[in-house]
Structure 1
Amino acid sequence: MTNPGDIERVATKIVPYYVVGVVDDEETDAPADGESEETVEPEETPVARRPRPRWVGFIAAALGVATLVLLIIAMIVSAGGDYPTGTLLAQVTIVVSISAAVTAALCLVFGLQRRWAAFGLAVAILANPLVVLNVFRFFES
């Protein structure tokens, strides 16, 4: 019979091989003569957690919706021909959008109503007049 090479060696059967840790009977978990085992007792009263404010995420969502409403009002006013008022409303919309984004980012970082905060952040970014202007310029032919 010939000696098969390294490449030709193929396992014909798979046998589970369990590794069991070796336990030395002489070693025990008992403390030595001069040592005393310190026991950690659980606290008798549970630690009171401070309640997290639930309203902060809702504030972020409300600011995002306010950004959208202000953008719509600014566009309607500007379409009506009152450009200085429309510009002022657009600037207020930008400030509200930035405040909504900052509030939502803080909520997302600290875990305060993350779904509402993510909704507020998305609406605030999409309704920002600067973002809307750049999107319109991108699709302009």
Structure 2
Amino acid sequence: MPWKLNLNSRKGAEAEKTALLFLQQQGLTLLHRNFACKTGEIDLVMLDHATLVFIEVRSRSHSQFGNAASSIDRNKQRKIRKTAAVYLQKYRQHSHRICRFDAISIDNHDATGQNSLNWMKSAF
């Protein structure tokens, strides 16, 4: 039975949509959303000119456990790198490209629901 990604987080999907729109406004081009395989999942795969960018999107409603960016630990980074390797094997037309790993963190800082978006290029 093939592996399948379960997208059941509405909030996570909204954060990814917000991040995607922001990055497109910055000139990046979407290649894939939610690329998934047995090793893990990459939220967004985009082109920044000739650079292939693998993007992890994190969102936090409360800061009691740290901000959204702090939730991308070494284990998650390792999974993203392994998944990126699978992506490059599957989409060989991009194997010549320079790759970058970015992160988008979206944090809710107050009771008004105002979110802050932080784009970290070359996050890991």
* TM-score, normalised via structure 1 length: 0.27
Task: Using CA pairs under 8 Å that are at least 6 residues apart, name the structure with larger relative contact order, 1 or 2.
Answer: 1
Rg larger in 1 or in 2? 1
Q: Which structure has greater strand proportion?
A: 2
Q: Which structure has greater helix proportion?
A: 1
